[in-house]
């Protein structure tokens, strides 16, 4: 029996509903596989599926299969939703009621009217992964950025 099947049977029994292999992911080196190896199970790696090709629905590359459900369970560090709203309110207060990008100066209100506020996102200068439990964030650690500048900041973090 494959490790996913063993895990699926155990998870189904514990959770009270059927867990299928497509409902979760793992891989060689994951905690699940490490524990199974410690219990004496031999782990055999699947052959490569070829990356994105597994999602092709046609030979012409004109359609792809998407939307299949997958159960994903993991720990996540939370950000305060109220903090982003507070940053925007504080920024407006200090800037004559306007929201604009602190990097490039883009003023979405001028281009999009009342819908423009949706173009300004809050960027946290301290990555949540580096925070300990109970970290207290200040408004000075946040930036109001347009979507483009926000994406560039995250690309810089990925490449650093």
Residue 113 tokens, joined: 């009217």
Query: Does the predicted model carry a pTM greater than 0.85?
Result: no
Residues contacting 110, CB < 8 A, separation 6+: 116
Give me the pLDDT at residue 62, please: 73
> What element of type H or E holds 90?
helix 81-94
Q: Work out the average pLDDT over 50-55.
A: 52
- Alpha helix (H) residue ranges in the chain: 3-15, 31-38, 81-94, 108-112, 147-159
CB 114 within 8 A of CB 134: no
Question: With bands split at pLDDT 50, 70 and 90, how would you rate the model's confidence at 38?
Answer: confident
């Amino acid at each position: 029996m494959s490790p996913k099947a063993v895990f699926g049977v155990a998870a189904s029994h514990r959770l009270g509903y059927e867990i299928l292999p497509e409902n979760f992911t793992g891989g060689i080196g994951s905690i699940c596989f490490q524990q199974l190896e410690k219990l004496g199970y031999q782990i055999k790696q699947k052959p490569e599926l070829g990356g994105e090709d597994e999602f092709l629905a046609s030979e012409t590359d004109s359609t792809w299969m998407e939307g299949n459900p997958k159960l994903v369970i993991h720990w996540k560090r939370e950000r305060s939703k109220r903090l982003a709203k507070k940053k925007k309110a504080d920024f407006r207060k200090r800037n004559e009621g306007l929201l604009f990008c602190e990097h490039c100066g883009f003023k979405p209100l001028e281009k999009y009217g009342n819908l423009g506020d949706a173009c300004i996102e809050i960027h946290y200068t301290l990555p949540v992964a580096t925070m300990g439990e109970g970290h207290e964030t200040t408004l000075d650690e946040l930036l109001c950025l347009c979507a483009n500048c926000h994406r560039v900041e995250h690309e810089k973090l990925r490449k650093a």
